Amino acid sequence: MLTTYELRWFYPGTIPQEVELWFEQNCLISPLQPPEEREDLYLYSPRCDFLGIKLRQGRLEVKWRKAELGVGRFGEFVLGNTEKWGKWLCCDPTKESFQPNLVLDNPSWVSVQKIRYSQLYQVFPEFPPQPVVSKNEGIDNGCTVELTHLIIQENAWWSLAFEAFGEDTRLMENLQTTASWVFKTYRGLKLLALNSYAYPSWLALVCR
């Protein structure tokens, strides 16, 4: 099981140009690196904002919120809700399970198309976070920053997120250090705690 500390924001519409340009110029090692494109299927569970279940690229992912850690401020333009999540992954080497065609006709499963830019940072004590070229490198403490264009029920949304991992005693530091460093150059749309929540809350907002 993987434990992470996370910050997320969701907004309707396409990614604002100034936000996308800021992310490309300040967060990515190379602005030319291609985004990841994929479709995830989420199990919609009304009135259950602490549990997320999805099918992603032939595997089942289950996430549950362990704690709500309060609102953090990251500069003049950014307020967000920090949450602690546990993640469990299940893969089927036979590829007979966890396939989209098994649930597509079930209205409880919701398709979310994603175009996602992401950058992994390695976090060191007393040093700025360092962007990582290869995601296959072994990293003890780090944080992924992602900007994602979303399509759900033919409607466009976008999301900005931070997902920190590592030693239990360093998780909050990994998140706060990376977010504070990245947002030093941010001058875009104000990110508000009102719009800061995880995928289960977003699905409840969109699918109700």
pLDDT for the residue 33: 80
CATH number of the domain enclosing 67: 3.20.100
pLDDT for the residue 72: 93
201 φ, ψ (degrees, to nearest 5): -70, -40
Question: What is the torsion angle, in degrees rounded to the nearest 10, for the CA atoms of residue 93, residue 151, residue 47 and residue 10?
Answer: 110
Q: How far apart are CA 207 and CA 97, in angstroms?
A: 26
Domain containing residue 199: 2-207
Count of domains observed in the chain: 1
Sign of the alpha-carbon dihedral angle for 69, 184, 174, 19: positive
pLDDT for the residue 97: 65
Which residues are registered as beta bridge partners of 111?
41
Report the 10 Å Cβ neighbour count for 155.
10
First CA to last CA across the chain, in angstroms? 31
Give CA separation, 158 vs 106, 114, 152, in Å.
25, 9, 11
pLDDT for the residue 136: 60
Beta strand residue intervals within 57-108, DSSP E: 59-73, 79-91
CA-closest candidate to residue 56, choices 138, 4, 120, 114: 114
Q: Are 115 and 149 in contact (CB under 8 A)?
A: yes
pLDDT for the residue 138: 80
Q: How far apart are CA 92 and CA 57, in angstroms?
A: 11
pLDDT for the residue 98: 65
Which residues are registered as beta bridge partners of 206?
none
Q: How far apart are CA 3 and CA 71, in angstroms?
A: 19
User: pLDDT tens track of the chain, all 208 residues?
Assistant: 789 999 999 999 999 999 999 999 999 988 778 899 999 999 998 889 999 999 887 788 999 999 999 999 998 899 999 999 999 988 777 666 667 767 777 788 999 999 999 999 999 988 899 999 876 668 889 999 999 999 999 999 999 999 999 999 999 999 999 999 999 999 889 999 999 999 999 999 998 7
Q: Are 145 and 177 in contact (CB under 8 A)?
A: no
